[in-house]
Structure 1
């Protein structure tokens, strides 16, 4: 029987009893923290996940920081949460860094011959993505009901196994399902925000595995209207870079403008977009369903951020279609301050508007609806 952490390497297959001897944790459950072993063991079962509407695995598309492994939080029915007993496992993942615990991921592969004892393959050690530790996603559970799940974004920390069978399947067909407005509360427990604490930035970039699956060509998409996650708390990150500050400002700006729209009776949400041939899921910042306006927010008014927002909103707006409105939505960039004058010329060329927050805190721009106080 394995008794040391060094004896279990990425790619090795072990029983849960052997894993517990090395890394601790409980004998059952998907998220198993261990205080004495400084570990949070994450067990993924592809068969179970597919039945309740989600996939765990590697994204085929990497970003500038490298690969991302998506792991869906605990809760097989109803909306997932960070609160109370049902949210304890999700909190353990979110606070793994400040609690000095390592995330270790295992995926079920089968059973011991002639036994009902399950076996699990070790993929390696991970940390939460420092800029976007998790996202909220709308899925259909095994009962067919829509629900919100927490999808954690994990970055490799050290050697990992990146096998083709662990890559999330690419979208195969177009679905266009409009989801009614649903409130998703911020993740809170006790008196502290679940998003506080040290969320580490990835320490290194891990190269692609030689067996990585290539996504199919993009062709079609699906769009789902969902409520943006209420993100009222600031992330306390290990590295206070300009990028992390912009993330916080963007979240605060988006929520403030959403509150302005809501106060006028507007129905607000976001679009969750899956593109055929891709494994990743796109999500817009804010959508005003009342006036059919799509917003892309940025945490600064710099030239670089305005250009990035322009590309994103031109991309996303192609897929935002609803039964109640004809054509594509009006496209607007949401900024914390007015951009440089020449950027208006650029945005006008692509019929993209600007809304920004003035010195007095009020929002300025042609798209801003008048709210009667």
Structure 2
């Protein structure tokens, strides 16, 4: 059975670069087209003999896994300790918090509607506790406080008894939301939905489906958004596209204005890094990719700039005409208008019962 440098790094508490260096000294470089070492018994024993085992337990534990490494979960626990069950592991030998996600397991518990990679690049993860309301204790409290305590979050995907290291994450803003989720008996209860954002990670490894199978680059019929996202008595549900009444009304009125111009407002789905992202509106005749914001304040305009340029590039890469447009309820300060002009972003603002296009 073969052994990898990742496995040996856990066993020996040695950085993988050092392991690869001694392998190259002894065995030369890898053949062309081979990306990773896959060691036979002789090669593995050579590495063990070079680094020895006598002083292994004396060294402080260090993080040795690299993005993309796949190891057995029990090998991680043998190296660092920590809870052998559950998705949030807090070893005492290192400050790192290990988070293990499994789409299959999540689906069995009904978490798949809440977890996963989102279009803003964050990853939503459901807290610990299969029955009753989830509370901030043990792993949940450690994950909530990770940024304040300076603890790195190490995210893994699970495949059977193996796990693959995705990379280092931290908590987003907000770090969590509370939502009504099912327990293991399908009864509703309050659940903690953590928002994790990458520091150094391969986020595409978190895609629930291969990008080729995601139904994207599709322009479909546009439906005016509801004027209010609020439902009396409903539990809060995390959503990266939850908007205010002002923004919904702005989009709805703008869509009708587009129709009055003889053009067709549409919804466009685009693929990016394993996620599906959608601009607020797409007008095929003009090529407008539209991002709406509820306010002309600087923070909203800055956010809209990044979003609409991202959408426009993805649309152009898919072969569509794409002109970035930002939709606001009123004009921003002059400096921001000059910035939009310099970036060749069209500004459209509400003007009485209609809208004004500011090129």
TM-score (norm 1): 0.44
Higher relative contact order (CA 8 A, sep 6+): 1
TM-score (norm 2): 0.46
